[in-house]
Amino acid sequence: MAEAEPLPIVRLKHWGRWVSAVVIVALLVLLGFALAQAQIEWGSVPDFVFYRVMALGLLNTVVLAVISQAVAIVLGILIALLRRSANPVAKWFAAAYIWLFRGLPVLLQILIWYNLALIFPTISIPLPFGGYLLHEQTNVLISAFTAALLGLALNESAYMAEIVRAGLNSVDSGQTEAAKSIGMTPGATLRRVVLPQAMRVIIPPTGNDFINMLKGTSMASVIGVTELIHAANNISSNNLLVMETLIAAAVWYMVVVTVAGVGQHYLERAFGASDRGPASRVGKALRGVPLVRSARV
Amino acid sequence: MSEPLLRAVGVRKSYGHTEVLKGIDLEVHKGQVVCLLGPSGAGKSTFLRCLNHLETIDAGQVWVDGEPIGFKLRGGKLYELREADVARQRRDIGMVFQRFNLFGHRTALENVVEGPIRVLGAKPGQARADALELLDRVGLAHRAGAYPAQLSGGQQQRVAIARSLAMKPKLMLFDEPTSALDPELVGEVLAVMGTLAREGMTMVVVTHEMAFAAEAADEVVFLADGAVVETGPPDKVLKAPEHERTRQFLARVLS
């Protein structure tokens, strides 16, 4: 073949990209114009952000979300273990639990717990030989905060059970066999070998769920828990600046959610430590495939 | 001759309606190396996994050092043990897997010290020193801090052998330890196993490496279709097999 003449290369013009970029920017500019017309007292928003009742709302939102998520994780692990157990009754119970608590809307669950006193005025745990371990008015036992916590935690525990189950299933059965072969008990195998490696799969969706949980606490406002929405409504019922107070609440939600997102990033990194290395996950999996090879003498 | 260290009697195992082990007998004396050979599907690996109760047997018995594995003998009956009690029996039986199965979230050193510290209750300082010595024996002391994903297959398998040895087992089981390795990495693992054999470790090895069997085994057991076809010293079984099945198999793998 003859020596090729150096030919200039003409790159493809991405006209579509230019057009879509222009459209997006134009729409954003229009939105900006519209917002500028909006009758919002921007000046009052920073004040509302730092109102005392807002601080209380923020505290309740965070505390409610953290406790609910923590309870949900513990219950979720338990339910996931029942779901994986060899006992058919335990398996069935776990499936029914997930079906129920995942199936009902969170708001409905919160309302049921809040109104429990209507059907059970008192809650008692009698002792076998007379007397009570617990005997109390339901209204005293289940405050609005507790009702919200129960509703949020139990609903989330059903989701956590599925997340944990997926995580446990993601760990190769060879890991369990290796642990058994050095004489580890089933409990130690779970704690030391399976759960730590399941974490890689469990953490990302759990972080996702926790962010949902932070926002889900807003439903507690319906039964009068002073979380961020309730706090915002508190302020606006005095000054009628509804949008301004809601924006103040929105600012806090964004702050809290951003912090949670950063926390998730570091957690993921901590549990992914052993992934650093030349072999990718796929490479590792492929290396386990037995080679067909002729034997040599 | 003395009582064998391992004695399997009439071991049977079925999956559903398929009987994969049809009554297998095996005796292994202290310090002996026994290689299990046979075509795939013969039940070699399943049988090996019955020896430390990773698989429950349907009938027969497995005795290691006078104890029925997975059971307790009382009043002429074998009572099935709880998993935690089986775990105690497994301390003395090391196992090396085809796919290494190193704990992926722990370094080579952490893999080796896990058993001694968590199961045997060894002091961490002593366990680390012992583990480093073991890693040195398999030629990997310099990789003690590496995670499994950072090691080659051959290196992973050598760490896995060290992890088993750390429990000071009476008996070591090898389940096709070189079958998942690239050809150029097989030698390093076989070398470690050869050394172990010469040092007097009692070993049961499922393998396709005929050269290893010929050189290291005291006895070769040829299995096919869930039953023992032929047993004997490697010189006899590999060089002058009596049975047609054995001859066919050898002709195929050695060609």
Interface of A with B in 179-238 (CB under 8 A): 179-186, 188, 192-193, 196-197
The reported pLDDT for the residue numbered A271 is: 81
Q: What is the pLDDT of residues A165-207, one digit of tens each?
A: 999 999 999 999 999 999 999 999 999 999 999 999 999 999 9
Q: What's the rounded mean pLDDT across residues A238-248?
A: 92
Residue among B103, B147, B253 whose CB faces A294 most closely = B253
Q: How confident is the model at residue A287 (pLDDT cuts 50, 70, 90)?
A: very low
Most A CBs within 10 Å, among B96, B97, B101, to test the A interface: B101
Report the predicted TM-score, pTM, of the whole model to 2 decimal places. Answer: 0.83
Could you tell me which of B119, B33, B145, B142 has the C-alpha nearest to residue A178?
Answer: B119
Residue A133 has pLDDT above 50, yes or no: yes
Q: How confident is the model at residue A138 (pLDDT cuts 50, 70, 90)?
A: confident
The reported pLDDT for the residue numbered A274 is: 58
Could you tell me which of B74, B69, B44 has the C-alpha nearest to residue B57?
Answer: B69
Residue among A185, A275, A290 whose CB faces B179 most closely = A290
3 state SS of A138: helix
Q: What is the pLDDT of residues A6-36, one digit of tens each?
A: 899 999 989 999 999 999 999 999 999 998 8
Give the number of other CB atoms < 10 A from CB of residue A251. 16
The reported pLDDT for the residue numbered B216 is: 94
Residue A296 has pLDDT above 50, yes or no: no
Q: How confident is the model at residue B149 (pLDDT cuts 50, 70, 90)?
A: very high
Question: What one-character-per-residue DSSP string does B119-162 give?
Answer: IS---HHHHHHHHHHHHHHTT-GGGTT--GGGS-HHHHHHHHHH
C-alpha distance from B252 to closest chain A C-alpha (Å): 9
Q: What is the C-alpha to C-alpha distance for residues A217 and A152, in angstroms, rounded to an integer? A: 7
Find the closest chain B residue to A286 by CA distance: B180
Hey, what amino acid is at A260?
Answer: A
CB pairs under 8 A between A and B: 126
Q: What's the rounded mean pLDDT across residues B198-214?
A: 95
Question: What is the largest distance, in Å, between two alpha-carbon atoms of chain B?
Answer: 56
Could you tell me which of A50, A70, A219 has the C-alpha nearest to residue A147?
Answer: A219
Q: Hey, are the CB atoms on A284 and B95 less than 8 Å from each other?
A: no
Average pLDDT, rounded, for chain B: 95
